[in-house]
Every structure is written in structure tokens, then in C-alpha cells.
Structure 1
Amino acid sequence: MIDLGPVGYVIGLIISVLGMTMLVPFTVDWVTGDGNAQAFLEAALIATMAGLLTTLACQNRAGRSLTVRQAFLLTIGIWLLVPLFGALPLVIGAPEVRLIDAYFEAVSGITTTGASVFVDIDSLPIGVHLWRAMLNWLGGLGIAFIAMIFLPIMRVGGMQFFRTEGFDTFGKVLPRATDIAGQLFFVYVSLTLACMGSYAALGMPAAEAVEHALATIATGGFSPRAASFADYSAAIHYATALFMLLGSLPYIRYVQIMQGSVRPLWRDAQVRAYLGWIAVAVVSVGLWRVATSGQAVEGAFRESLFNLISIMSSTGFGMGTFPAWGSFAIVVAMWLGVIGACSGSSAAGLSVFRVQLMFATLHQQIRRIHAPHRVAPIRYQGRSVDMDTIDAMVLYLGAYILTFGVVAVLILQSGVDFESAVFASWTSIGNIGYGLGPMLARTGTFIDFPDAAKLLMILAMIMGRLSLLAVFVVILPRFWRA
């Protein structure tokens, strides 16, 4: 039997901290007089008390080291329960939506997906805007912790490769989880402050600069404007593209830069491939736009740069008329969303690392066909990759494709049209945030989706955020047997 005490203790602490963070939008709404402050105060009290009571009930298990099975339960428990309490202010106060819609919004925020069911966003109180951005920011920070600390330990999707002491990303630079957490938090906050300052300096209103910066660095995509970034200046578009890119690079490289070592950033095969693939996609789609629409070169380049980085980094901000750009641009964007950005960041998708490893494995198999007796180990950044890592990566890719198809079919069966269902599955599992299809044309949100489809998207967002296999493992009866 699994001892749930240590898991409950940590989750209780996290929920109580979440409750206390609600005092920030409470204070903002109280100062501005938007009339929604009481909702945040009530939600803060409920979450804080529930978290503290859970912590007290599990206090006798505090300080114990987590087993691998407990680590699985902890990660899943956080992403199921934290959004539930994060949804409380949206049910109690503005916009006073149903629990399923509030939970959808909170899950989308915590998983940094950025998909929304809120229609009239511009009219919401400033505290609600800030809370949505804070959910993005807190979720992005938690995701980075899990990607760098828990997934390598849990051996999910080939991430055990990053546990090896010979790989300078983890073993030599930051050998302890506490060191990783402290350094990562400093990097995350520094990037956020730099983004805020840039937005403000370029003319974005102060409140929107704060809210957009929180969502940008988290690659979250929640905006206080229904039009997202469409009405901002070109300078802000370029700045946002830059910070979305920075937020989707491996955070550990920033730690190395702070320690005076810049070379590992450029020597990272993930970073080089990520930047290269984005460059090819932006140039291709930009030329396509110029050739098919007659748009000016600068405008076509800027819109392509912004939207494609937003999709590949799984941020979800939008500008221009991207859904109407034609099949070529949509196909390119869809593949970028599936690939995703770099491992070790808050971005989602398959990750550049896994795609590179997939191509390396395919190349090795082709060489074996031509020379069956030749020993050619798979190598990544000069290191041999063991078969355990390869098997985990192949299993993850298979699970990703299968889950994508199954979720799309189930959403289709719930009453959603084919195009909307496919892109709903794509945006949920990849935590991308973009919505395409006839059912989104009216509002630009997922509000018109049936409740069954919203529940499927909620599950897909959580599964995509936790690398799928972490959820599948817990479902198996064998996991719960001693």
C-alpha cells in the first residue's frame, strides 16, 4: 500500500500557498474598487484553510523522502487539485461561471495551455486578469521544476537521459534538487522582470505589461485582451517574440550563463535545432504570405515570426488573421505545435530533444539495414544513448500519437465538428492554446463546446503537461499493488 502521507503533506502546502497568493488580486481589486475583492478573499480563505488542514493531517509524514510511486502521485495530484482551488474565485465572483468552465480555465492556466472559455475578457475586473496571468506564471514555474527534477527521476519519455552525471546540464552544474530549484526560481523571476520592463518601456500600459509578462515567460498565453496582441505596436510584437523564445529555452543554460559560461547554450543541440527549425518555418510561411496575399514583407515576416514562435513555444498568444492564412501555414504550424520547444523549460509538445532522438534512432535503423553487422550506437551531443532511454522515448512518441487520435475521436463523438475536434485535441495535448475550427469562429473561445468535450480537453491538457505516461502509469492496477 502506498503511503499517501508525504504526498498529502506537500499538496496541502502548495494549496495553502496558492490560497495566500489570491491575496494579491484581492488587494488589486480592493484598491481599484472593481467590486470583486470579496470573491478573492473568500476563495483565499477556503484554499488556505483546506491546504493547512491537509498539511496538519499529514504532518507525521513530513520530511520523508518520496519514492518514485509517490513522485508520480504528487505530480498528478498537484495538476488535478491546484486548478480546482484556483477556479474558486472565478465561480464565487466575476465572471461567475459554472464550475466546469472555471475548472477548464484554471487547468488551462496552470498547464500553461492558454485556451479559454471566457468570451468578454476585456470587461472582466483587473483582479481576474491578474489571477489568470498568475495561474500561468505559477504553472510555468511548477512545470519547469517537474521537467528538471521529477521527470528524470521517474524515467518518463526518455528524460532519464538528463540524470546521467556525465551530462553537464544536470550532473555537474547542479547536483542537488534544492540547488536546481533555487537557481531556477532566480532565472524565472529575472526573465519575468526583464519582460515587464521591456513591455512598459515600449508603451504597454502598466497593468497589461505585468499580466502579459507573467504569461509570456511561462509560455502560458493568457491575455487580458480578447484580441490578444493584435492591437499592439510592431516593437511590442518583436519583443514578445523574443521573450517567448527565451522562455522556451532550457533554463539550466541561463544558470550556466550566470556562472560565466555562455558556450553551453550555443553548444546545446536542442537550442540549435529549435532556432533553426523556427527560422526555416518563419521564412517559408512569410514568403508564402507575401506570394499569396500580397502583404508587405515586413508585416508578413513579423506576423509569421510572432505566431509561429507562439505556437512552437506553446505560448498561445495571437495576432493577425492566422486561421485564414491557408493550408500551408496551418500545416507548418500544426507540426511546430506537435514538436514543441526545448526540454527543461515550461514549454510543451514532444520537445526538440525527443524529436532529435527519434531521427537519430531512425538513422541508426536505416544504417543497420545496409550493414547488419555494424555496431553503431545512437549518440546525442557526443554521448551514447542507452536502449532504456530509446525505448522510453519510442513508447512516449507512440502514446502521444495514439492519445492525440483517441482524444480527437472522442471530442468528435461529443458533438464537435471534425476540424474543431482535431485542433482541440492538438491544442490540448500540446498545451498550445490556439483554437481553430467552425465551433470557435463565433467567439474565438471554447465556450460553445459541449461539457463532455471540455472534460476531455481538461484531461488532455493535464496528460500533455505531465508527459502522458505519468498519468497512464497511475491508472494501471499494478501501480497500486505493494
Structure 2
Amino acid sequence: MYYVVFMNGVVLAFFGVLMGVTALFFHSTAGVFLLAGLLTSFLGMMLAIVSYRPDMEMERLDAFVMTSTVWMTGAIAGGVPLWMWGLTPIDALFEAMSGITTTGSTVMSGLDHTPRGIICWRALLQGVGGVGFVVTAIAVLPILKVGGMQLFRTESSDKGEKELRNAAVFASATLQVYIGLIAVCAFVYMAGGMNFFDGVTHAMTTLSTGGYSGYDASFAHFESPFLQWAGTIFMLLGALPFAWYIRILNRGMFYSEQVSAMLWSLAVVILVLSFWLVATSEMPFTTALRLVAFNVVSVVTTTGYADTDYTQWGQFFVMAFFFLTAVGGCTGSTAGGAKAMRWLLAWRAVVAKFQNVQSQNRVTSIKYEGRAVDEDVLNGVVVFFVFYFATFVVMTIILALLGLDLETATSSALTALANVGPGVGSIVGPSGNFATLSDPVKFVLTIGMYLGRLEMLTVLILFTPMFWQEYAVATRPAHRVSR
């Protein structure tokens, strides 16, 4: 437990320092960020000092508690300056949780006239949350065997790839790739007409697949086909595995099954929807292709940028974008959702089951990246989908009981769990805003974003008595010595 408290203290201190840096660059909100930074840093350092032990180590059960708590701690810390600036406590927590989980849902309006310090802070929350989740997904979730993630640990730790075996080294490599992509994205955005501030903040929210913008009109504010295509490409790059980038740089290996599956499926969906849009409107194909590509990639990668209200294209598109919300990017990327790897394994498991039914004596081996998939990995994927959709149903019911109509309740529940941002409908759609929702609804959605980012099981297991019984035994001093 000392390790858990220590890490939460470090997270608080880190956010406090980040607030102090923000105060240096934006004088109009310097007082808010300076005070929030001092309070957060002081509390974080106190927690780190009183909990520090020279011999402390992270055990497997500590990882569950640490992973679940540091993300909540980060969201609370991130909401402090927003609250001091003027948001209500629940709005500040909602906005910060949406930022750090890279969801992109917002309760803020009038963004065009909001102080740049606040706009930058929202972008920083998504930038930190994006790289933080990549490291969590590779270094922690495989250890916890959440949703079949142990398979990705195997995929990312091929022989000779020593840089992926050590979490600290992997984090450093990931950070370098992440910052490099943000820098390139910012340069391209500025070449396309954005000013320096917009280019940097939008680059952070693009590569983190977060989707926060400094304008109420989101990406549509720029009215630039070049920027829309650039945004489409960089959103997609943010949703590809960072271990894949590292593998390309170190070994020149480009092929990845989940990357290939995601790119091909996106291409098919974009072409089908583009032709459908041309057939049902008078829009030129090149325009339809650009708008469909941007919005499909935005939703599938869970970025959540909007450059048009796609719900106005007809009910077919409303249904299509609703289902695309649940897809998600690749495992090991900044994207949310169920992830391409899990959908790929689920499809192969279904095909194998049909083959076994047709020929009961036939033994079908499910493979991924050329290797047979263990039974516990498939079980992890199945359990993930069960909990994912069970949580979605429970959230939808709760939101409906809190007064939302069925369309809004269903869409907002799914967009929160998938960490997408906008959903469908007039309230939470691409042209809507979450500000009009009641505080209880915002709180439920805040929890939904939190659960979705940590993939449910990491958090839900903490509510089982068995976990705490085992944790109590594992953390006894005598038990640790015997180990």
C-alpha cells in the first residue's frame, strides 16, 4: 500500500508542476494555475514523503490499486484549476476526466473566447492522458491479464526487442515517438494555416485521440480541406500501436495483423459510406470522401473531432456512426474503444466455433501474428466483451432513470465507455454539448469514462471482497519476507 500512496503523491506533484509551468506562459490565468499548482504539489509531496520506503516494490495486486487510483487522482488534480477558474466541481471533474481519459466530451461553451491558459490545460490533460494510457496498456494491463492484454505483451516482447521488456525503457521510447509525432503534426497544421498555439494544442489532442478543440465549432472552425485530410491522417496515426512504431524504427518490421485489419476495414467503411452519401445527396464524391473519412476516422479512433453534423445525413448514418463508436483503435495506442485486436480475435473465435460445429472431430487453432492463442487469452477477451456490454446496458438504464430519452441515454453511455466524445442525437451529438445534462448524469458519465479508459475489470475487481482478502494477506510484512 505504501507504493500505491507514493505513486499517487508523485502524480499529484507532477500535475502541480505542470500547472506551475502553465502559469508561466499564460498570464491571464497565472493566479489560478499558480495557486492550484502550489496546493496540488504540496499535497503530492507530503503523500510521497510519508509513504516512501527504501525497500518498497510493486506487487501484482498493488498494480490493480495503483492503476485504478492514479487515474482518478489525475482527473481530480486536473479539475482543480478548472474549478478555481469558475466551473462547478462536477463540471470541473467531468471536463478533467474527459481530458485525461482522452474522451473529448465537454461541458464548456464559448471556447472561442475562453482564456488560452484554460484551452492549453485541456490540451495538456489529453496529451498526458494519451501517452499515460499507452504505457499503462503495455506495462501494467498485461500483468493484470485484463481483456486478453497478455497476448499484446507477448506480441510486443519478441526475441531481440529488449527495449520493450523493460517498462521504463519502453515508456521512454514511447514518449520519444509520441512527442515526435506531435511535433510533425503541429508543423503540418501550421503549414495548413493554423497559428502556433492552435497547431500545438490541436496536435496534442489529435495524437492523443482526445479531440478537445479551442473552438465551439471544433475542427470545422478552420474550414480547410487540407487540414481535414491532415487531421484524418494524424488521428489514424495516434490510433496505431506505439510498439509497432518502435518495432519499425528498430527492426524495420512493418506488418501487424491488427494494423492491417483496422486499415482495411476503415477503407471499406469509408468507401461504402461515401458512395451512400453521394447517392443520397448532391454532394461531389471528393467532398463526400473527405467528410466521411474525417468523421469515420474521428469516431473509430475515438478522437471525437467534428467538422460537420453527420447526424443530418440521414438515419443510416446515425446507425452507422453509433455502431462505429464501439470499435476503437489498436491495442497499445492512445485510442479507446474495444480495440481492433479483440474484435479480430472474437471474429476468429466465432469462425472456429462454426467449423467445430460442422466437423466435431476437427481441432481448430486460433492464431494471432502467426502464433497460437492461449485459452486464457481468449477467455480474457470474452470476459472483456461481456463486462463491456453489461456495463453499457447498466449505464444506459441508469441514465434513462435519471431522465434522459433512450437515444441520448444509449449514445452517451456508449460514447463515455468507448472514450469517443460526441455521440448521436441533438444533445450529445457532434453539434451538441454535455453542459445541459444534470449533475447526476454528468457524474455517471464521468464514472463511465473512467471505467472505459481502464477497461472495466481493472476497477471493478476492487469491489470484490475476495480481492481485498488476498490483498490483506499479500501485504502482511511476514508474508512479504517469506516471499
The TM-score normalised by the length of structure 1 is 0.94
Give the Cα–Cα distance (whole angstroms) in 1 for the partners of residues 147 and 352 of structure 2. 19
Give the Cα–Cα distance (whole angstroms) in 1 for the partners of residues 105 and 208 of structure 2. 14
Pair 1:242-2:230 in alignment: no
Alignment deviations for residues 323-377 of structure 1 (CA, whole Å, 9 cap, x no partner):
2122222222222221111001111111000000001111111111111122222
Partner of 1:288: 276
Unaligned runs of 5+ in 1: none
Alignment deviations for residues 6-58 of structure 1 (CA, whole Å, 9 cap, x no partner):
0111111111011101123212221xxx3x21001110001101110000110
Instruction: Read off the aligned partner of 1:252 and give its amino acid letter.
Output: A
Partner of 1:432: 420
Give the Cα–Cα distance (whole angstroms) in 1 for the partners of residues 160 and 282 of structure 2. 48
Give the Cα–Cα distance (whole angstroms) in 1 for the partners of residues 324 and 121 of structure 2. 29
Whether the 8 Å CA contact 1:83–1:110 is kept in 2: the answer is: yes
Label 1:134 to 1:203 Cα distance change in 2 as closer, same or farther (>3 A): same
RMSD (Å), alpha carbons:
1.6
Pair 1:416-2:404 in alignment: yes
Of residues 227, 249, 252 in structure 2, which corresponds to 1:258? 249
Pair 1:5-2:2 in alignment: yes
Instruction: Read off the aligned partner of 2:3 and give its amino acid letter.
Output: P
Alignment deviations for residues 253-296 of structure 1 (CA, whole Å, 9 cap, x no partner):
1112222x33x33x201001110111111111111111112111
Label 1:15 to 1:70 Cα distance change in 2 as closer, same or farther (>3 A): same
Pair 1:164-2:135 in alignment: no
Give the Cα–Cα distance (whole angstroms) in 2 for the partners of residues 466 and 391 of structure 1. 18
Partner of 1:19: 16
Unaligned runs of 5+ in 2: 474-483
Give the Cα–Cα distance (whole angstroms) in 2 for the partners of residues 69 and 358 of structure 1. 28
Give the Cα–Cα distance (whole angstroms) in 1 for the partners of residues 242 and 43 of structure 2. 33
Of residues 166, 174, 179 in structure 1, which corresponds to 2:164? 174
Whether the 8 Å CA contact 1:281–1:332 is kept in 2: the answer is: no
Say which SS state the counterpart of residue 219 (structure 2) adopts: coil
Give the Cα–Cα distance (whole angstroms) in 2 for the partners of residues 148 and 334 of structure 1. 28
Give the Cα–Cα distance (whole angstroms) in 1 for the partners of residues 156 and 219 of structure 2. 43
Partner of 2:46: 53
Whether the 8 Å CA contact 1:169–1:252 is kept in 2: the answer is: no
Give the Cα–Cα distance (whole angstroms) in 2 for the partners of residues 415 and 323 of structure 1. 22
Partner of 1:29: 26
Say which SS state the counterpart of residue 432 (structure 1) adopts: coil
> Offset at 1:321?
2.1
Give the Cα–Cα distance (whole angstroms) in 1 for the partners of residues 399 and 118 of structure 2. 29
Mapping for residues 459-470 of structure 1, pairs under 5 Å? 459-470=447-458
Give the Cα–Cα distance (whole angstroms) in 2 for the partners of residues 99 and 435 of structure 1. 24
The TM-score normalised by the length of structure 2 is 0.94
> Offset at 1:435?
3.3
> Offset at 1:171?
6.1
Partner of 2:79: 87
> Offset at 1:176?
1.3
Whether the 8 Å CA contact 1:420–1:440 is kept in 2: the answer is: yes
> Offset at 1:148?
0.9
Alignment deviations for residues 389-436 of structure 1 (CA, whole Å, 9 cap, x no partner):
111110111111111111011111101111111110011000000133
Partner of 1:143: 133
Pair 1:311-2:299 in alignment: yes
Say which SS state the counterpart of residue 444 (structure 1) adopts: coil
Give the Cα–Cα distance (whole angstroms) in 2 for the partners of residues 325 and 170 of structure 1. 50
Say which SS state the counterpart of residue 391 (structure 1) adopts: helix
Instruction: Read off the aligned partner of 1:256 and give its amino acid letter.
Output: R
Moved more, 407-416 or 439-448: 439-448
Partner of 1:229: 219
Whether the 8 Å CA contact 1:115–1:435 is kept in 2: the answer is: no
Mapping for residues 276-425 of structure 1, pairs under 5 Å? 276-425=264-413
Say which SS state the counterpart of residue 67 (structure 2) adopts: helix
Partner of 2:186: 196
Moved more, 322-331 or 104-113: 322-331
Give the Cα–Cα distance (whole angstroms) in 1 for the partners of residues 265 and 160 of structure 2. 25
Whether the 8 Å CA contact 1:141–1:188 is kept in 2: the answer is: yes
Partner of 1:43: 36
Aligned length: 469
Moved more, 326-335 or 119-128: 326-335
